[in-house]
Structure 1
Amino acid sequence: MSTSRKSEPSAYLKAIANDNSLPIEQAALDLWLKDLQNPLRWGVRPLLQFIFAILLHLIWFFKRLPFPQFSAHSALQKLICWFCTHFVSREANLLILRHYATESNVLNFLAANSPGSEFSPVQLYPKSIADMQQASFVEHDQELFRLFSELGSWHHPAQPLKANELNWQHWQSINMDEFQLPEKRTQWLDFESAHALFMCLFCLLLTREQYRDAINGFNLDQSIAIRIGDLVGDSSLREMAFNKYPHYLVGPWNLGQRFLMHGFFTEQLYAYLEKRRLSNPQPAASSDIS
Structure 2
Amino acid sequence: MKHSPEFLEQTYDPRDPSPWLALYLDQSTPLSEEVKRAWLADSSSRSRQFVLPFIRPFARTLIVLFQVVKVFIPRVAFSRALHRLLAWGMENFIRPEANWLILRHFHLGSQILGFIAANAPVEVPTNPLRPGVIADVREDMFLVHDLNLYNFVIRLNQNLRAAGRELEPVARPDFSMIAPPPLRLEDMPRRGRNFLDLQSSIELFTPIYQLLLTDSDFWRATNSLQLDETIGLYVATILDARAHLMLVNNGHPLVPMSTLRAGFRLTLHGLSTEMAHAFLMARQQHQAVTQI
Normalising to structure 2: TM-score of the pair?
Answer: 0.87
Out of 12, 36, 45, the position equivalent to 1:38 is 45
Is residue 189 of structure 1 aligned with residue 203 of structure 2? no
In the TM superposition, residue 183 of structure 1 has moved relative to its aligned partner by: 2.3
Corresponding letter in the other structure for 2:155: E
* 2:31 corresponds to: 24
Corresponding letter in the other structure for 1:141: D
What SS is found at the alignment partner of 1:281?
helix
Q: 1:67/1:121 Cα in 2 relative to 1: closer, same or farther (>3 Å)?
A: closer
The answer on whether the counterparts of 2:233 and 2:242 sit within 8 Å (CA) in structure 1 is yes
CA deviation string 1:151-176 (max 9, x = no partner): 0156555x62112xx12343343244
In the TM superposition, residue 66 of structure 1 has moved relative to its aligned partner by: 4.1
- For residues 68 and 95 of structure 1, the distance between their equivalents in structure 2, rounded to whole angstroms, comes to 31
Task: Indicate the structure with greater helix content.
Answer: 2
* 2:169 corresponds to: 160
* 1:241 corresponds to: 248
In the TM superposition, residue 11 of structure 1 has moved relative to its aligned partner by: 2.1
Is residue 128 of structure 1 aligned with residue 137 of structure 2? no
Out of 210, 214, 235, the position equivalent to 1:207 is 214
What SS is found at the alignment partner of 1:280?
helix
* 2:77 corresponds to: 71
- For residues 233 and 48 of structure 2, the distance between their equivalents in structure 1, rounded to whole angstroms, comes to 33
What SS is found at the alignment partner of 2:132?
coil
Q: 1:191/1:178 Cα in 2 relative to 1: closer, same or farther (>3 Å)?
A: closer
In the TM superposition, residue 178 of structure 1 has moved relative to its aligned partner by: 8.4
What SS is found at the alignment partner of 1:254?
helix
- For residues 120 and 28 of structure 1, the distance between their equivalents in structure 2, rounded to whole angstroms, comes to 29
In the TM superposition, residue 196 of structure 1 has moved relative to its aligned partner by: 1.7
Out of 274, 278, 283, the position equivalent to 1:271 is 278
- For residues 204 and 127 of structure 1, the distance between their equivalents in structure 2, rounded to whole angstroms, comes to 27
- For residues 84 and 178 of structure 1, the distance between their equivalents in structure 2, rounded to whole angstroms, comes to 14
- For residues 172 and 262 of structure 1, the distance between their equivalents in structure 2, rounded to whole angstroms, comes to 20
- For residues 171 and 267 of structure 2, the distance between their equivalents in structure 1, rounded to whole angstroms, comes to 33
In the TM superposition, residue 102 of structure 1 has moved relative to its aligned partner by: 1.3
In the TM superposition, residue 272 of structure 1 has moved relative to its aligned partner by: 0.3
* 1:59 corresponds to: 66
CA deviation string 1:252-289 (max 9, x = no partner): 1222221111111100000000111122239xxxxxxx
Q: Over aligned residues, Cα RMSD in angstroms?
A: 2.3
The answer on whether the counterparts of 2:100 and 2:185 sit within 8 Å (CA) in structure 1 is no
- For residues 136 and 234 of structure 2, the distance between their equivalents in structure 1, rounded to whole angstroms, comes to 30
| Structure 2 residue runs without a partner (length 5+) | 1-5
Is residue 101 of structure 1 aligned with residue 101 of structure 2? no
In the TM superposition, residue 134 of structure 1 has moved relative to its aligned partner by: 2.3
The answer on whether the counterparts of 1:17 and 1:29 sit within 8 Å (CA) in structure 2 is yes
Corresponding letter in the other structure for 2:133: S
| Structure 1 residue runs without a partner (length 5+) | 283-290
- For residues 202 and 250 of structure 2, the distance between their equivalents in structure 1, rounded to whole angstroms, comes to 18
Corresponding letter in the other structure for 2:25: N
Corresponding letter in the other structure for 2:149: L
- For residues 39 and 280 of structure 1, the distance between their equivalents in structure 2, rounded to whole angstroms, comes to 41
CA deviation string 1:15-55 (max 9, x = no partner): 11111101011111011111122112111110111111111
Report sequence identity in percent. Answer: 26
- For residues 266 and 26 of structure 2, the distance between their equivalents in structure 1, rounded to whole angstroms, comes to 22
The answer on whether the counterparts of 1:56 and 1:203 sit within 8 Å (CA) in structure 2 is yes
* 2:142 corresponds to: 137
The answer on whether the counterparts of 2:96 and 2:194 sit within 8 Å (CA) in structure 1 is yes
- For residues 178 and 88 of structure 1, the distance between their equivalents in structure 2, rounded to whole angstroms, comes to 13
- For residues 52 and 108 of structure 2, the distance between their equivalents in structure 1, rounded to whole angstroms, comes to 26
What SS is found at the alignment partner of 2:27?
coil
Corresponding letter in the other structure for 1:120: P
Corresponding letter in the other structure for 1:121: T
CA deviation string 1:123-151 (max 9, x = no partner): 20112101112261001111111111110
